[in-house]
Amino acid sequence: MPTAPPSLTFNVSILNMLEHVLPHALKIPAIERLKGKKIILASNSPRRKEILRTFGLAPEIVPSTFAEDLLISDFSEPHEYPVATATHKAVQVYEKLVEENPEEAPDLVIGADTIVLTHPQPVTSDTSYSLLPSHNQELLEKPSSKEDNLRMLLDMNGNVCEVVTGLVVVYPVLSAPGYMIKSIDERSLVYFADSPKHIVEAYVESGEGIDRAGGFAIQGLGGILIRKIEGDYNNVVGFPAASFFKLLDMLVEEDEDFLSI
């Protein structure tokens, strides 16, 4: 059987590498516009990768090297903090890839950062929650140790936390600095069951929560600690898929340069 010339095989392989839209993706304008485009996820999170694949996107993974050393105290609103971190991640990766190969600049870089805040302000119809006493919100990032993990979870036990993901997309435009940044923040409420201390301790000993913002994984063993959520479940896992595709749809409708350069 004759084989394709090397040049043809090479070109086909390039096309395959660039096709980040999977066959099962929904046939909606935003996803159709992504076909044949170079899509980058500026995160090494397996959970974000898995969520995107569920909805038919398989971006190239290029983790950001941004130090993530911003101070939440520098922001007037705590919800601005993950958006700023996600912006730095996405822009750093975009600029790095353009510098390395200007002729193969990415068409879309996706950045995300998720934080957990204790004692969110009452924004829910749950009257039992609305009657809870007011507290200052505390940022809960990844626990530094099992002891820190236990402290976090005992503080949230029987209480409510707010999961906030800053989501950013960066794409090329003709005007300076050569790219556009669009961002949103997605918020979900997580209601913790009033669990016996030995259950919380057993979860901490499992080690599952040690590398998770807030010290728990709702999609894993950590689900045993959760009574209910309000908002996007995927946001609690780490990537607000519904709002992401809504943002892309809006950009397709409102920005004629989006993914067209």
The domain segmentation of the chain, as residue ranges, is 24-254
Query: How far, in Å, CA of 116 to CA of 139, rounded?
Result: 6
Instruction: Scan for tokens 């990768």, then name that residue.
Output: 49
Catalytic residue status for 113? yes
Q: What is the pTM of this model?
A: 0.86
For residue 177, cis peptide bond before it (omega within 30 degrees of 0): yes
261 residues of the chain, pLDDT tens digit each: 555 444 444 444 344 456 899 999 999 999 999 999 999 999 999 999 999 999 999 999 999 999 988 998 899 889 999 999 999 999 999 999 999 999 999 999 999 999 999 877 654 444 444 444 445 678 887 899 999 999 999 999 999 999 999 999 999 999 999 999 999 999 999 999 999 999 999 999 999 999 888 999 999 999 999 999 999 999 999 999 999 999 999 999 998 879 888
Angle formed by the axes of helices 241-254 and 46-54, nearest 10°: 60
Query: How far, in Å, CA of 161 to CA of 98, rounded?
Result: 39
97-117: b (≥16 Cβ within 10 Å) or e: bbeeeeeebbbbbbbbbbbbb
May I ask the CATH architecture of the domain 24-254?
Alpha-Beta Complex (3.90)
Write a three-state SS string for 196-243: CHHHHHHHHHHCHHHHCHHHCCCCCHHHHHEEEEECCHHHHHCCCHHH
Strand spans (E) along the chain: 39-41, 60-61, 108-118, 139-140, 160-172, 179-192, 226-230
Q: Cite the DSSP H helix spans in 101-173.
A: 127-130, 146-156
Sequence-ordered list of residues with C-beta below 8 angstroms from that of 129, at least 6 positions apart, any chain: 122, 160, 189, 191
> Which of 69, 74, 107, 113 does the annotation list as catalytic?
113
